[in-house]
Amino acid sequence: MPLRLGAFVHRRLIAPGAFAAASLMLAIPASAASFSPGAPGIGDPYYPDYGNGGYDVSHYDLRLKYQPATDELEGTATLLARTTQDLSRFDLDFLLDVSEVRVNGTKASFTTSGEHELEVTPKSPLAKGTSVTVVVRYSGVPSSKQAYGFTSWHRTADGGVGANEPEAAWWWFPSNDHPLDKATYDVSVLVPDGSQAISNGTLQSTSSRLGWTRWNWRSDKPQATYLATLAVGRFDITTGTTDGGIPVVNAYSKDLGANYGAARASVERTGEIADWLSGWFGPYPFDALGGYVPNTNTGYALETQTRPFYSPRQFANGSNTSVVVHELAHQWYGDLVSVHGWKDIWINEGFARYAQWLWSEHEDEGTAQELADYVYASHPADDTFWTVRPGDPGPENQFDIAVYDRGALALQALRNEIGDEAFFAVLKGWPQKYAYGNASVADFQRYAEEVSGQPLAALFDTWLFQPSKPGAPAARGAAIARAAEAPVQPKSWKKIAATNDVHGG
């Protein structure tokens, strides 16, 4: 996503030990002495309670009904998973009201704990390495639920939208909410006739009966939980096909007012832009494509898989293809290859920002080199911009502008160091190497060294990991800002910066 300027930043560093200690005191049946509760978090130091331990989900089947007038959501989630330890109990991340949980067909007991944990205790403990089917029946009003004092469910005049990073799933389906556990999805949503339900992937079918219409969406490639989205509202839907043969489905709220034209003039370029990006990053990795613009009062956009979410405000000053480039670049850098931990956010944002720079060059509005020079020159050494380390920014700075601009600057430094041929081979090779999986900043450095045949530890340290502005010798060495006079602002600068304008409302 484009960063959150002046955003409310979600803070939730909770000592994971507190839960672990409580868990150990629970009585465990003698016959199941080796069986223990799954951890309440998957082990990400930025967000200790995100995701869960002890199992891996392969598929989510979400069969839902949503009433736009009241924001009431109800339904059944069926999760197919595999245990990774002997489990006496396991957690899901979820906020809505649960009425029943079944594990392998049998009723399980459940309770809630922490900010967003649903603790499930199956009747019989689960042995490591076995398949498990979990059915959760639930209902609730997503906009009424908060964790850590915020909600990621955006109520609109005509419905609601679940889209946020790093967390959105808690408000609409129970999950193992971390990018390390990707899965396929079938999302089926019943909404009143005249409303539409938009989600990821391919629209398999719709069917109407007694005033309600069911929308059946399928994502058959692995997808991180935060990249799953649901929007219900009154949309105009457009369809098409890219030159590469990928079907495109876009959706625009009928209620975008003066932003309607600019939104549509931007997002309708999705197919063209995805084809252009595939020239840099390799074949488009999914079988569906599109974008949607609901009438939220949010300010950000998000790379929800195959179908990015855009806020109307992104188009308040006219069309903005740069934000479309950013979110579609994430389909390779973020979605196809996802972060291993949230500290690896540069793998997403540095590259999506760099794609905007390549688009600027394509549009004759300033080259990537000019944009890099401008970033370097426009932040003096005492600017706090340089205190953020894009390679490991900390959760409080995960979406700081430095992750984007300093992050893209680091890529230009890398390009100048290893040359265009190796650099663009890396850009195209990386999504294939870790396709449908996860990778870290360290993995990227290793891969760039492998492809270029050059040691790059010093370069990565200077441009991504030092909490200070790279000095003149380092800049000279990486061919950044070599001209004697201060660089002029590239023409695309303001349009790219408009991508940053988020939250605030």
Q: List residues near Zn ion by CB under 5 A.
A: 1, 349, 352
| Minimum distance, C-beta of residue 484 to Zn ion, in the bound complex (Å) | 34
| Minimum distance, C-beta of residue 289 to Zn ion, in the bound complex (Å) | 17
Residue 125 or 299: the one with the smaller Cβ distance to Zn ion is 299
Residue 102 or 313: the one with the smaller Cβ distance to Zn ion is 313
| Minimum distance, C-beta of residue 249 to Zn ion, in the bound complex (Å) | 21
Burial letters for 342-368: b for 16+ Cβ neighbours within 10 Å, e otherwise? bbbbbbbbbbbbbbbbbbbbeeebbbb
Residue 233 or 391: the one with the smaller Cβ distance to Zn ion is 391
| Minimum distance, C-beta of residue 2 to Zn ion, in the bound complex (Å) | 5
CA distance to 112, 325, 334, 408, 428, per residue, from 277 (Å): 44, 8, 14, 16, 10
CB 463 within 8 A of CB 471: no
C-alpha to C-alpha distance for 197 and 383, rounded to whole angstroms: 45
CB 270 within 8 A of CB 289: yes
| Minimum distance, C-beta of residue 446 to Zn ion, in the bound complex (Å) | 24
| Minimum distance, C-beta of residue 152 to Zn ion, in the bound complex (Å) | 16
Residue 286 or 404: the one with the smaller Cβ distance to Zn ion is 404
Residue 71 or 349: the one with the smaller Cβ distance to Zn ion is 349
- How crowded is residue 59: how many other Cβ atoms within 10 Å of its Cβ? 16
CB 451 within 8 A of CB 426: yes
| Minimum distance, C-beta of residue 302 to Zn ion, in the bound complex (Å) | 8
Residue 8 or 476: the one with the smaller Cβ distance to Zn ion is 8
Give strand ranges (E) for 348-446: 437-439
Q: 3-state secondary structure string, 210-248?
A: CCEEEEEEEEEEEECHHHCCEEEECEEEEEEECCCCCEE
- How crowded is residue 455: how many other Cβ atoms within 10 Å of its Cβ? 9
Residue 3 or 232: the one with the smaller Cβ distance to Zn ion is 3
Residue 474 CB burial class (10 angstroms; 0-12, 13-18, ≥19): middle
| Minimum distance, C-beta of residue 330 to Zn ion, in the bound complex (Å) | 6
Q: 3-state secondary structure string, 316-347?
A: CCCCCHHHHHHHHHCCCECCCEEECCHHHCHH
Residue 196 or 314: the one with the smaller Cβ distance to Zn ion is 314
